Amino acid sequence: MHRKLFFVAFIGIVALALWLTFFTLPVFNIKSIEISGNENLSKEQIESMLNTKVGNNIFAFNKTKALKNIKSNNYVEEVSIHRKLPSTITVNIKEYKLRAYVPYMGSYLYINDYGRILDTQKTFKKQLPVVEGLKFNQFTLGEVLQVDNPSAFDTVVQLSKLFEKDQLLNTIVQVDVSDENDIHFYVGKIDVEFGSFDDANKKLLTLNEVLKQLDTSYAGVLNLTGGNPTCTYIN
């Protein structure tokens, strides 16, 4: 009986010693927080969601709570957090890709390639297409935009993926899907008559080649609906 009590007391003392070692020694204070993969979220924004800072004990850091905080951000698709002993926290972020802006009452909805609303701002963060012609009266941040013309919205989502593939995301200034059979793009001062979504991949490849030869600083109309592209400049 005495031997058992002695053993329990010994284990308790060892556990206390380990606790004091891990939670009080300066060597286990956080010296750096390494963040990677973030594009739209700043390092400062991510650090604020960690609920810790340089100088705090690395074992006192609540990893579960930090993961929950970061995952709740609309930009974040995946996140992993690791303790790199003795004094480093590493955070790897995978963000949803921002693909277009949708105007709404003086602001812009930031949408990804699934049509999910990541953010709302008065201005752009970077050059991406502005989408006109979607019909809706309300939205929920963090959810897929619900519109009255869902087929037009599906067209926008599919176009955004093709824009990325053909490296046109930063080239096309505006997309108008008011009439799905008469879609228009705007590149500089050029109005691109795209027609319907039929043969979209082929037409975008053609657009990419034609744009290499066009001066988009002059107003004009580029027609891609026929067999051969034609461009008419407007005086």
Indicate where the chain has its CATH 3.40.50 domain(s): 98-233
> What pairs with residue 102 in β-bridges?
109
CATH 3.10.20.310 residue ranges in the chain? 25-95
* pLDDT tens series, the chain, 235 aa: 556 665 555 565 545 455 555 556 788 899 999 999 999 999 999 999 999 999 999 988 999 999 999 999 999 999 999 999 899 999 999 999 998 999 999 999 999 988 999 999 999 878 889 999 999 999 999 999 999 999 999 999 899 889 988 889 888 899 999 999 999 999 999 999 999 999 999 999 999 999 988 889 999 999 999 878 888 888 6
Q: Which fold has domain 25-95?
A: Ubiquitin-like (UB roll) (3.10.20)
CB contact at 8 A, 94 and 79: yes
172: left (phi over 0), alpha (psi -120 to 50) or beta: beta
User: Who contacts 210 (Cβ-Cβ below 8 Å, separation ≥6)?
Assistant: 222, 229, 231
Closest CA to 204 of 212, 194, 213, 196: 194
Residue-level pLDDT at 39: 92
Q: What are phi and psi of 7, to 5 degrees?
A: -65, -45
Phi-psi domain of 167 (left: phi exceeds 0; alpha: psi -120 through 50; beta: other):
left
Beta carbons of 108 and 121 less than 8 angstroms apart: yes
Strands (E) located in the chain: 32-36, 76-84, 88-95, 98-104, 107-112, 117-121, 130-132, 174-176, 183-187, 190-195, 220-223, 230-233
C-alpha 223/C-alpha 235 separation (Å) is 17
- Return the CATH number of the domain spanning residue range 98-233: 3.40.50
**From CA 162, how far away is CA 59, in angstroms rounded?**
46
- Give the C-alpha separation, 139 to 235, whole Å: 41
d(CA 46, CA 42): 6
* pLDDT attached to residue 113: 82
Tokens 């960690």, residue located: 50
Give CA angle at 12 (60, 63), nearest 5°. Answer: 20
What pLDDT shows up at residue 73?
96
